[in-house]
């Protein structure tokens, strides 16, 4: 099991934070372009899912899976979007994303008066805590691929 990378988007689609751990394949475009593509795709998936769903779904889009990786998606009621790519066997990723929101983002960004909301996160402490949370989770297993 392994974690590839993480995106945090604001309500309006600004890339607030990006981190990667075991990412073997680079996209070949800049981080900003990649973030725009990613946000655009998520936006489309979200509206696709809500239109195509035969039942009234509460949670909406949760994750998608390809043959190589799984993309997990968590959106808070305030519109923050957490996106985490893992391999296909990872379990309980939703829980991890909830933890990331409540124990790291809330604590070290929202409660930091020197951090501007809706702007890319600069805090080093936040960076440190994200890294800590990911590396301590059982999903993160740094296999030599």
Partner 1 sequence: MKQQGLESKLSACSLEEADKCLFEYLHAEIVNYVLATTSDNKDGEEELSRLEWMGFSVGYRIIERLTKEWARFKEELDMIKFICTDFWTCLYHKQIDNLRTNHHGVYVLHDNEFRLLANIGANGSQQYLRESPRLLAFTCGLLRGSLANLGIVSTVKAEVSALPSCKFNVQVQRI
Residue of 26, 58, 111, 143 interacting with partner 1 (CB under 8 A): 111
**Choices 10-18, 25-33, 35-43, 105-113; region in contact with partner 1 by CB under 8 A:** 105-113
Indicate the SS3 state at residue 61. coil
114 near partner 1, judged by CB under 8 A: yes
Q: From the CB of 112, what's the least distance to partner 1, in Å?
A: 5
Q: Out of 20, 32, 107, 119, which residue is the one contacting partner 1 (CB under 8 A)?
A: 107
**Strand ranges of the sheet holding 70-75, from the earlier edge strand across to the other edge:** 15-20, 3-9, 81-86, 70-75, 63-65
Find the radius of gyration of the CA atoms of the chain.
15
User: Measuring CA to CA, which residue among 3, 69, 73, 18 is closest to residue 42?
Assistant: 73
Decide: is 132 part of the binding site for partner 1 (CB under 8 A).
no
Binding mask 2-21 for partner 1 (x = CB under 8 A): --------------------
Q: Binding to partner 1 by residue 98, rule CB under 8 A?
A: no
Decide: 85 and 4 in contact? Cβ < 8 Å.
yes
- Pick one of 118, 125, 138, 142: the residue that binds partner 1 (CB under 8 A): 125
Q: DSSP 3-state assignment of 75?
A: strand
* Chain-centroid distance, C-alpha 51: 23
Interaction of residue 117 with partner 1, rule CB under 8 A: no
Please pick, from the candidates 12, 51, 113, 145, the single residue that binds partner 1 as defined by CB under 8 A. 113
Q: In the complex, what is the shortest distance from the CB of residue 115 to partner 1, in angstroms, rounded to a whole number?
A: 8
CA distance 104 to 46: 25
How far apart (Å, rounded) are the C-alpha atoms in residues 140 and 132? 11
Contacts with partner 1 by CB under 8 A lie at 107-108, 111-114, 122-125, 128
């Amino acid at each position: 099991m392994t974690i590839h990378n993480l995106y945090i988007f604001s309500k309006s689609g600004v890339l607030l934070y990006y981190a990667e751990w075991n990412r073997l394949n680079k996209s070949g475009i800049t981080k900003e372009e990649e973030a725009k593509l990613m946000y655009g795709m998520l936006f489309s998936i979200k509206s696709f899912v809500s239109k195509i769903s035969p039942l009234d779904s509460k949670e909406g889009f949760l994750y998608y899976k390809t043959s190589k990786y799984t993309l997990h998606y968590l959106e808070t009621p305030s519109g923050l979007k957490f996106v985490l790519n893992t391999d296909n066997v990872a379990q309980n990723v939703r829980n991890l994303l909830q933890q990331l929101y409540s124990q790291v983002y809330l604590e070290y960004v929202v409660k930091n008066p020197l951090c501007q909301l809706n702007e890319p996160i600069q805090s080093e402490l936040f960076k440190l805590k994200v890294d800590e949370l990911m590396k301590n989770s059982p999903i993160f297993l740094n296999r030599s691929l």
